[in-house]
Amino acid sequence: MLTDGIIALSAACLGIALSGAMSAIRGPQDGPARFYLMLVFGVFGGIVATPLVFAFAPSMYGFYLPVILVLLLIQPPAVFYYVSAKTTELKSSSMRRRDIVLPITAGLVMVGYWLQPAQAKTAMFISGELPAGVIPSTLVLTTFVLIFCWVVSSFVYLIATLQRLREYRSKLRTLYSNLDDRELRWLDWFVVSIVIVWGVVAVTFVAENTGFDQVVVEELVYGLTACLLLFVMAFASISPPEPMIEEPAAPDEPLEAKYARSALSDDHAEQLATRIKAAMSQDALYLDPNLSLQKLSRHVGALPNQISQTLNERIGLTFFDFIAHHRIEAAKPLIIENKESSLTISLDVGFNSRSTFYKAFKRETGMTPKAYRDAMAAELEGG
């Protein structure tokens, strides 16, 4: 049952979605990211406009409702491709063929509904009755199958999106010494928000079709969607400050395969490892908060992939962990002295935030800076 609250929230969501799409057109992101962001806003806008169509254009409801099925099946790949466009350098805005199979199938079902007589559409979409005949029964059955496919595909794309983010951040650790402004952590909350909205929609759908309408609060669905769209509008313009240097390797690709074409000999690798260590111990290159793999490669006179290979195979650390180790070692005596704040120490040794310093320090030592200082003080007293 439509209420004034649902209509108001639907209108608000539609307005936010349209504003977001316009912002995406004028935004700083590149072509694929801009396209998929507009697609995400467009899909959400189309879905949340349903109550407005029912309230103000009831004659169009039978035409519009089948469109929602198409939009639902476009939504999961649209979200996945948007996250991919933000975390990789996509060359094209085109989706893979397998990603458009379900939307195309839904499009065919949509056309099938459109071709039904007006009386049949009214019976199905307004009265909730199934007209006699094979075609209406087939369309309804196919719709339920596609809705089930939407649930499954949403889960599959969710896993793929989380995997994409994991690979992206793993790649960052091989390229940069500070990650806070590059990790795009807001994308995690974007995905979590979508999962919450999907979950509420699923509960609502099940409740409405099992006679538990009284527990459904449709305003909650539209309220959460409005918050999600506002969140995306606020953060969508954020991009990593520097482009990725290399294309990401395959998720499970072993180091041997990754560096199979490298011309780096054992002797050269040993010499390069010595030069890399000297750049830290003698030149204190780790103090540069903007240190990257490319900067280190220029400093020691080697290619970035050779530096990466040496760090992984000879030293056994990623670039990020290698630099963090030297920064932590430089921070230890300053922590013991206890003359400066943790923030000052973290900035002095090359970290760009206290939170990054704390996480790196605990990963390196198993203790917080304060616990480490107390442990060292107790050790000195005991000695």
Residue 91 has pLDDT above 80, yes or no: no
- Give mean pLDDT, residues 115-127: 86
Task: Tell me the chain's radius of gyration from C-alpha atoms.
Answer: 27
Backbone angles phi, psi at 290, to 5 degrees: -100, 15
| Burial class of residue 206 (count of CB atoms within 10 Å of its CB; 0-12, 13-18, 19+) | exposed
> Is residue 292 classed as helix, strand or coil in its secondary structure?
strand
pLDDT at 133: 86
Whether the pLDDT of residue 159 is over 80: the answer is yes
Tell me the C-alpha distance between 280 and 288, whole Å.
Answer: 11
pLDDT at position 245: 43
pLDDT (tens digit, 9 = 90+) per residue, 31-40?
Answer: 888 899 999 9
Are 222 and 52 in contact by the 8 Å Cβ rule? The answer is no
Q: What is the DSSP letter of 247?
A: P
pLDDT at 179: 87
Class (C level, CATH) for 255-382: mainly alpha
Q: What does the pLDDT read at residue 252? A: 45
Percent pLDDT > 70 in the chain is: 89
What's the Cα-to-Cα distance from 51 to each of 8, 44, 195, rounded to whole Å?
A: 10, 13, 22
User: Phi-psi category of 23—alpha, beta or left, where left has phi over 0 and alpha has psi -120 to 50?
Assistant: alpha
- 280 SS3 class: helix
Mean pLDDT of the chain: 87
Contacting residues for 89 by C-beta, under 8 A, at least 6 apart: 243, 244, 247
pLDDT (0 to 100) of residue 28: 66
CATH annotation of 4-235: 1.20.1070
pLDDT tens digits, residue range 191-215?
Answer: 999 999 888 887 777 776 666 666 5
Which tokens is 98 given? 């397998």
pLDDT at 266: 84
CA neighbours closer than 13 Å in the CB half-sphere of residue 238: 15
Break the chain into its structural domains and give their ranges: 4-235, 255-382
> How long is the chain?
383
Give SS3 for 176: strand
- First vs last Cα of the chain: how many Å apart? 76
What pTM, to 2 d.p., does this model score? Answer: 0.85
Asked whether the beta carbons of 245 and 175 are under 8 A apart, the reply is yes
Separation between Cα atoms, residue 166 and residue 251, nearest integer Å = 9
Q: At what angle do helices 319-337 and 266-281 cross, to 10 degrees?
A: 30
- Residue 239: strand, helix, or coil: coil
34-61 pLDDT, tens per residue? 899 999 999 999 999 999 999 999 888 8
